[in-house]
Amino acid sequence: MRNRFLRKVLKLICAFPLMMICDFTSTAGEIKKQDVIAVVNGSLITSSDIAVKKETVIHAFLFERGRDPTSEELSGEITKAEERKLISRIASILREKALQEFGVTVTAEEARVELEKLYPGLKENPEGTLEKEKAFWKQYALALKEVKESPEKERLIYDSRLKDFMEYETWKAAIKSFGTHEKIKRIERAIPKSIEDIYRDGESSMKDLVLDEKLRSAITRDVKITEEEVQKIYESRFDSTVPKPSFDEVRASLQKELLELKKSEFEQAWWVNFYKKAKIEIRDDRFRSVIETLKTSVKK
């Protein structure tokens, strides 16, 4: 859970300043027709909404390949990165529509309650929690600085500074996404100075997570399982088990497992259908394949 929350916080910290820039750019004046990349249910996605910085793309390429990209490679990598942002933006627009259709909302108080469940120390030991958060973000920023100077030592840097905070795969993804000088500075500026800073940033991130959970519950609220379905799983799973547990011994766990499986399958089908019904127009030929990608993908 910590890693899931952490990834969300990292994403928002690094993305928020960029979103502010994009919003300002696309609304500062009249949007030109040639700047519109896509239209989703009437909402415009402009070139500034999916813009990526060349420095970020070069950094990610250098980390993966150990060399700078050629001009042709750089152009291709920028297009791929823009396509990923386009898909993410389309998903965000459709998520907002789904939230509106189901009337799903989250209050600040709900987000705060969930945050305090995740971080009981916020109430029990606020000063200690603040010091731990400061220590983590300082270590994180320092690790990114060190790996930028010595990329060949990324595993050693992870083991010495971040092993207790995040998984290695999360660290590798972070290097690619957040390893530029600009983003490291953003992280340093985001280091909490007070317990209120943790609440502010944490509530924003937690609100997003709670919205997703509420939306999932709304989508799957009518999913049910029958006793016959549970009995069928019991027989297929434990038919050759010795000693064989009684049905009553495993009923509750099988019910929970089956219900979760059915909800996941229902939710997946629901999102596929929701995407298919959406009015999505791609106006930039470079991203025509996005439509096919969306048709064969699901949100979760």
Instruction: Record the tokens describing residue 8, joined without a space.
Output: 């969300």
Cα–Cα nearest to 214, from 114, 71, 77: 114
Dist. CA 144–CA 189, nearest whole Å: 14
Range with the poorest average pLDDT among 74-78, 169-173, 239-243: 239-243
pLDDT value at residue 219: 97
Per-residue pLDDT tens digits for 13-43: 333 333 332 333 334 445 565 699 999 999 9
Backbone angles phi, psi at 48, to 5 degrees: -70, -25
Question: What pLDDT shows up at residue 297?
Answer: 66
Q: In 3D, which of 20, 16, 74 has the Cα closest to residue 48?
A: 20
Which tens digit of pLDDT belongs to each residue from 197-237? Answer: 999 988 988 999 999 999 999 999 999 999 999 999 999 99
41 Ramachandran zone, left/alpha/beta (phi>0; psi -120 to 50):
left
